[in-house]
Amino acid sequence: MTLTTSTSQPPRNFSALYLVTATAAMGYGFVVSLLAEFRDEYGFSGLGLGILAGAGFFSGFFANVWLARYADRGWSREMIRIGLAMGLIASIWMAASSDIFQFVAARVLVGLGAGLCGPPIRKIIIARNPGDMGRKLGVVSAFDIGGFIAGPLIATTIANFFGLRLPFLVLAAAFGAMLLLIWREDLTCPVVDSSKTQHKISANSDDPDGPDSAGPDSDDISSGTATKKPRGNIRQLLAIPGIQGAIAAGVAFYASIGVFEVSWALLLDDNGAPTWLVGPAFSLFTIPMMVFAPIGGRVTHKHGALKVIVWSVAVALVCVVAYGWVDHLWILLAISGVHATADAFTLPGLQVAMATSSPEEYVASSQGLLGATGLAVAGAIASVGGPIYAYGGAEMLYSLAGVIMITALLFAIYRSLDPSMRFAAGRH
């Protein structure tokens, strides 16, 4: 499948959108890194802290699933602006708050804002650079990862020297700066005429009735006097084998991320790591992802998403299982470097897979669906990973994660055998 746009758009520099991506990702990590300080300063309970940590991810999930479709309807510019404005307001709100309910409400606003920014940014990049979208999506992934990791480091550093209020004022300033930066940017993305793409959904769908069996409210496309506005229907996307395969591969990828985040510090500590090493070990995991993500996107675009994802997820699977059975600290760190490099190929590969498997009018919706999958899977595994580690140790936790990963990967490969699968490189 070759992605095109209804209006010719020349390749362009997306530096502003990359910076917006990093800033939105920073918002997720600011609160999580300060939970212990909130407990000590404000006396928040463990339950309250858990709700506070999860609120942003749940609201981000909502935005990715139900609001991403509006980028397909021509609202990309408004979504990015509103998302940054939400982040600005929420950051100021948290800087002025001392009550758990206010923090949770502001955290929800941060998640909504970040969820509003992601899908339209990737939609713009995919639509305007179909010939180079793999590399561009890899760069976006690198900025996303970098922002997510930089957030906690910036927040804790500022809080240690200046207290709990200033970090959120700095975050508010970052959101404000991004809002000013993109205000005059051309963030529009043309709405694709659904009459050119609706038949592709039916041709690539397992739904025998097709997506347009909704009945009387469907537009009369055959008359030539109206075009159906894209609905971004998640059910329709999930009926496409290519989307099913990409989502399954996404489950495998985000399962490895979720189990790593919840247990990596515990695993290092159990293997004799000094306290000072734990923080840098997390950062070291992200460096290969940031460095190799653009390369991974370019390789994916050249050779096809399925080939790249199968190999990269398989490598990550071996690494995850090995975490549970290796008891030498420096070998574990070396394995994590291999794991991070594999993930750098998987993440842009997944984004390319979703883009090339989706009809053009649903590109933003498909990217939102992938983002929602990540939030749901990583969040669910992180929530149960701690108790499993405490009960059965590293062997049980990482073995179970391996079972989840290989099951999801095999399903993705199975769906690739469908003759209507479009799980390929963007230029195909």
Residue 165 lies in a domain: yes
Residue 56 lies in a domain: yes
Q: Helices 100-128 & 76-96, crossing angle to 10 degrees?
A: 160
Q: What is the pLDDT of residues 323-335, one digit of tens each?
A: 999 989 999 999 9
Q: What is the pLDDT of residues 180-190, one digit of tens each?
A: 999 988 888 76
Q: What is the pLDDT of residues 9-38, one digit of tens each?
A: 444 678 999 999 999 988 877 887 787 788
pLDDT score of 314 more than 80: yes
Structure tokens at 85: 């404005």
**How far apart are the C-alpha atoms of 151 and 22, rounded to whole Å?**
9
Give the N- to C-terminal CA distance of the chain in Å, as an integer.
5
Q: What is the pLDDT of residues 129-173, one digit of tens each?
A: 887 888 888 889 889 888 887 887 788 889 888 989 999 999 999
Number of domains in the chain: 2
**Position 358 confidence tier, pLDDT thresholds 50, 70, 90:** confident
Position with higher pLDDT, 44 vs 216: 44
Q: Which of 66-70, 184-188, 340-344 has the lowest mean pLDDT?
A: 184-188
Q: What is the pLDDT of residues 100-128, one digit of tens each?
A: 999 999 999 999 999 999 999 999 988 88
**Position 264 confidence tier, pLDDT thresholds 50, 70, 90:** confident
Question: Which pLDDT value is given to residue 131?
Answer: 78
Residue 167 lies in a domain: yes
> Among 150, 182, 214, which residue terminates a domain?
182
> Among 182, 205, 223, which residue terminates a domain?
182
**Position 95 confidence tier, pLDDT thresholds 50, 70, 90:** very high
**How far apart are the C-alpha atoms of 198 and 53, rounded to whole Å?**
40
pLDDT over 90 percentage in the chain = 36
Does residue 176 sit in the same domain as residue 72?
A: yes
> Among 154, 182, 210, which residue terminates a domain?
182
Residue 424 lies in a domain: no
Residue 376 lies in a domain: yes
Q: What is the pLDDT of residues 190-228, one digit of tens each?
A: 666 555 545 444 445 555 444 343 333 333 323 333 344
Long-range contacts of 279-288 (CB under 8 A, 24+ apart): 281/333, 281/336, 282/149, 283/149, 283/153, 284/333, 284/336, 284/337, 284/340, 285/260, 285/336, 285/337, 285/339, 285/340, 286/145, 286/146, 286/149, 286/340, 287/340, 288/337, 288/340, 288/341, 288/344
Report if pTM > 0.85.
Answer: no
Position with higher pLDDT, 383 vs 137: 137
Residue 217 lies in a domain: no
Structure tokens at 27: 């918002």
Residue 303 structural domain: 234-416
Q: What is the CATH number of the domain that holds 349?
A: 1.20.1250.20
**Which range in 140-149, 278-287, 303-312 is most confidently predicted, on average pLDDT?**
303-312
User: Rounded mean pLDDT of the chain?
Assistant: 82
